[in-house]
Chain A
Amino acid sequence: TQLLEQSPQFLSIQEGENLTVYCNSSSVFSSLQWYRQEPGEGPVLLVTVVTGGEVKKLKRLTFQFGDARKDSSLHITAAQPGDTGLYLCATRDFNKFYFGSGTKLNVKP
């Protein structure tokens, strides 16, 4: 059983479209991270959210942590081909880190 469920698994959109990807769980988290991974590279940290209801913005990316700290979303406005990659959410449980299976995003020019 996956601790973190991500949806959708795959997303293929045209440049300029908006999109939202989700990370859900039945567990409560003290914090949650979002990473982007490009082919052949390790994941790169985008943001860490800590407080329930927190919203963080990183240029065209908006991250939200659910009020109950069980879920999170990532919204991209006006997607660009450079946004293509695997988006992963992750959390820590004591000395273990858990990742979702990711959303693979392809933005076509």
Chain B
Amino acid sequence: ETGVTQSPTHLIKTRGQQVTLRCSSQSGHNTVSWYQQALGQGPQFIFQYYREEENGRGNFPPRFSGLQFPNYSSELNVNALELDDSALYLCASRPSGTGVSGNTIYFGEGSWLTVV
């Protein structure tokens, strides 16, 4: 049990639609990151939020966007869904900083998105 919770756990969307995924971070963790994990692959970094601002981004197009709220919870929004967006979306939280604790991230169980 990591203390990171995600919702919904599973959802099905149609190509072209928009989706919002939600994440509550572990208590005391002010940094949240999102990952996309295709079947059989490792997680790919989408972006990171700290103090309600995006401060790191992977190679994902602008239709992937996010928010972080004052309580450190977060949302991932994906517009104009494509079939290739079908994946497990993982949220992770960590304390800020560069020490060992800041380098260790704790994952939620993920949201399975299927685009048809």
Are A and B associated in one complex? yes
Is the interface on chain A under 10, 10 to 19, 20 to 34, or 35 or more residues? 20 to 34
Q: How far, in angstroms, from A95 to B105 measured CA to CA in the complex? A: 12
Q: Could you say which of A41, A96, A102 contacts B58, with CB atoms under 8 Å apart?
A: A96
Given A94-B56, A95-B55, A96-B48; A43-B103 close (CB under 8 Å) = no
- What per-residue 1/0 map shows which CB atoms of B21-59 lie under 8 Å from chain A? 000000000000101000011111100101000011110
- What per-residue 1/0 map shows which CB atoms of A70-109 lie under 8 Å from chain B? 0000000000000000001010101111111110100000
Q: How far, in angstroms, from A43 to B37 measured CA to CA in the complex? A: 11
- Contacting pair A97 B41 (CB below 8 A): no
**Chain B CB within 8 A of A25 CB:** no
Q: Could you say which of A44, A45, A48, A100 contacts B42, with CB atoms under 8 Å apart?
A: A100
- Contacting pair A42 B109 (CB below 8 A): yes
Residues of B with C-beta under 8 A to A97? 33, 35, 45, 48, 92, 105
- Contacting pair A45 B56 (CB below 8 A): no
